[in-house]
Chain A
Amino acid sequence: EPEVTQTPSHQVTQMGQEVILRCVPISNHLYFYWYRQILGQKVEFLVSFYNNEISEKSEIFDDQFSVERPDGSNFTLKIRSTKLEDSAMYFCASSRDRTSYEQYFGPGTRLTVT
């Protein structure tokens, strides 16, 4: 069964450093998303992406964040200058098309900012 994959599984970085989290969505899916979950809190939407542009972003997704689909398979989330409060699990998700509500999630990347 096709699945969303994410790398790395765990990233440790120092405050102020740039990180890139990588995702490979399900191959025939057209919509891509990033969510995050701070420890003990709910899963929060960050951004959605379709046709090489951002469809929607939350207030969390400020100028420090960017997303890119550099090729036909990868979908990346970049945090330009990490803060302690960026420590969280980051989940990538994808959905098939515009009529599909179900989003399929990857296993997540645990980001630890020290």
Chain B
Amino acid sequence: DQQVKQNSPSLSVQEGRISILNCDYTNSMFDYFLWYKKYPAEGPTFLISISSIKDKNEDGRFTVFLNKSAKHLSLHIVPSQPGDSAVYFCAASAGGYFGNEKLTFGTGTRLTIIP
């Protein structure tokens, strides 16, 4: 049941350049999307989110883009820093107006920033 897919298991980016992580989903009921960052031996840390009524949300170095027609979202990190090296998970919710629904996660992309 691959409702949320992250097709790149790993990505290496030079420090200072842009990192672009991609996520695709199949469930049309998903209306809220989140990115989490995870370091080894820690829990997922919330990074940034976007509602389906928007196509872009920006927070500092992080920007999430949503293309509803393509059922695709991406996370841009500019500029990439060594501390950004982690596993990034895309997650989706079908909560409608109410946000307390379960999250469905992708398999994650391991991002390595090369100094």
Contacts and interface: CB of A to CB of B under 8 A. Distances in A.
Q: Do A and B come from one complex?
A: yes
Interface of A: 4, 6, 31, 33, 35, 41-45, 48, 50, 55-56, 58, 91, 93, 95, 97-108
Interface residues of B, number: 26
A56 B106 CA distance: 20
B45 A48 contact: no
B95 to A, nearest CB: 6
Contact of B99 (A98, A105, A107): A98
Contacts, number: 70
Contacts of B95: 101
B107 interface: yes
Interface of B: 32, 34, 36, 41-46, 49, 89, 91, 93, 95, 97-108
Nearest to A96: B99
A43 B105 contact: yes
A105 B98 CA distance: 19
A103 B103 contact: yes
A31 B101 CA distance: 9
Nearest to A55: B100
Nearest to A95: B100
B46 A104 contact: yes
B44 A105 contact: yes
Contacts of B100: 31, 48, 50, 55, 95, 97-98, 100
A33 B44 contact: no
Given A43-B105, A48-B100, A107 B46 contact: no
5 contacts: A6-B43, A102-B49, A105-B46, A108-B42, A108-B43
Nearest to A44: B105
A98 to B, nearest CB: 5
